[in-house]
Amino acid sequence: MRSVEEQLEIVLDAAVAPEPIRLGLSEALGMMCAEEITATHPLPGFNQAAVDGYAVRSVDVGGAGAISASRVVAKDDEEVEVAPREPVRALPVVGEVHAGSQKPLRLQPKQAVRVATGAPLPTLADAVLPLAWSDRGTKRVTANRPVASGDFVRRTGSDIQPGDIAVRQGAVLGPAQLGLLAAAGRQKVLVYPRPRVTVMSYGLELVDVDREPGLGQVYDVASYVVAAAAEEAGADVTRVGIINAEPRRLRETIAGHVARSELVVITGAIGGSGADAVLGILRDLGEIDITRVAMHPGSVQGFGLLGEERIPAFLLPSNPVSALIVAEVMLRPAIRRSLGKKATQRRAVRARTLRPIESFGGRRGYIRARLMRDPETGDYLVEPLAGAGGGAAHLLAGFAEANAMILIPEGITRVRPGEIVDVEFLQQRS
């Protein structure tokens, strides 16, 4: 029997990231950047007003001893309390500049220009007097409070200077990173694409969900479960569903999807005489190894490399819970490695179990569970769900209630309430 670590090492060694491709920014969210982006222009590209107000020279509005903009709030006419000062004499308002204006203005001493947020500052202006700090005059304006040089101004290059690294290679492209790329004028970015994963199911007893099962038939649940798990891990998933058992069509279907995938998954292709036909075809297409892995559920599983491109292929049990466990333990890390992620495993914590747990000796147990925090101590607590008593491990309902999995080491068969166990987070559920 092969250990989980040995099987996972084989799987990860075979995972290959697709070649980087260029995508438009609107398509790149969540992708990993495959190039280092260096800024060629400053951001902002010019001195601009940070609030609606008046562009002024700070010396003309009592700039000495002024209050720093970082210590005040001027939004929706709400103001902080400061000591009153003598009003500054009125300045003539000699113009107005809107955001996007391309007409340069030059400010003369003892003048003011009305500016909108984002508008370019006139030459010689070094501060913006917020509307809330003035009498809002249209021909002449009086400042009720002073501003210092640089107050309420977004200076050229204050965010990024030319030559600065805007986005590093290997960074996951979130909203902020995409915003920096847009600010740098980039329309496209080189990314590692999501690996294409094809999920198929095999079994003479299977019917799809749009049909009523007859005697001895069951719904094809496993392919839906595994396809969803692969997509949640970050893959671009094609769910084929039930594949035709006729040998020629079976071979054409598998070979066709191998040629256009980075990973292939077939549920139900292990165990029983019906799986022999699938295994024969797969071994004609490449190398497939059926083995027992020291884990429960999902001990019996297959893995190999198919086609000229040696595409990784997983053979999973037909039972939905077993298939989902193997997908979590083996398929998910392979997808994450193909995405270029350094961390292929889910986050794990130590938690105190609230109920007894039984596990199979010699196999690592994966117990569905509900993870929570003690409101007083902040410690993690975990409540085992389906499979905790050593039985009923095949039931899917317990998985639907779970937000975590308890990992029971191979040498432990029983855990008492109050003992500390390792727990992996699953997808967060609201």
Cα(244)–Cα(222) distance, rounded to whole angstroms? 16
Fold classification of 48-72+83-154 is Molybdopterin biosynthesis moeA protein; domain 3 (2.170.190)
Q: Is 107 exposed, middle or buried (0-12, 13-18, 19+ CB in 10 A)?
A: buried
- Give the sign of the dihedral formed by CA 128, CA 129, CA 130, CA 135: negative
Cα(303)–Cα(326) distance, rounded to whole angstroms? 11
Q: What is the DSSP track for 387-410?
A: TTBSS-TT-SHHHHT-SEEEEE-T
pTM score: 0.72
Q: Over 50: is that where the pLDDT of 95 sits?
A: yes
What pLDDT band is residue 386 in, cutting at 50, 70 and 90?
Answer: low
Strands 300-306 and 286-292, sheet pairing: antiparallel
Q: Measuring CA to CA, how many Å separate 192 from each of 17, 38, 169, 235, 328?
A: 7, 18, 10, 11, 22
What residue segments make up the domains of the chain, in order of their start?
Answer: 4-18+194-339, 21-41+172-192, 48-72+83-154, 348-425
Per-residue pLDDT tens over the stretch 100-132: 888 878 888 999 999 999 999 999 999 999 999
What pLDDT band is residue 73 in, cutting at 50, 70 and 90?
Answer: very low
The CATH number that domain 348-425 falls under is: 2.40.340.10
Cα(110)–Cα(392) distance, rounded to whole angstroms? 83
Average pLDDT over residues 334-351: 87
Per-residue pLDDT tens over the stretch 52-61: 999 999 998 8
The architecture (CATH level 2) of 4-18+194-339 comes to 3-Layer(aba) Sandwich (3.40)
User: For residues 235 and 263, is the Cβ–Cβ distance under 8 A?
Assistant: yes
User: For residues 380 and 373, is the Cβ–Cβ distance under 8 A?
Assistant: yes
Cα(120)–Cα(49) distance, rounded to whole angstroms? 6
Cα(404)–Cα(385) distance, rounded to whole angstroms? 10
Per-residue pLDDT tens over the stretch 7-33: 999 999 998 877 899 999 999 998 889
Q: How far apart are the first and last CA of the chain?
A: 39
Contacts of 311 (CB under 8 A, 6+ apart): 258, 261, 262, 263, 264, 286, 305
Q: How high does pLDDT run on average in the chain?
A: 86
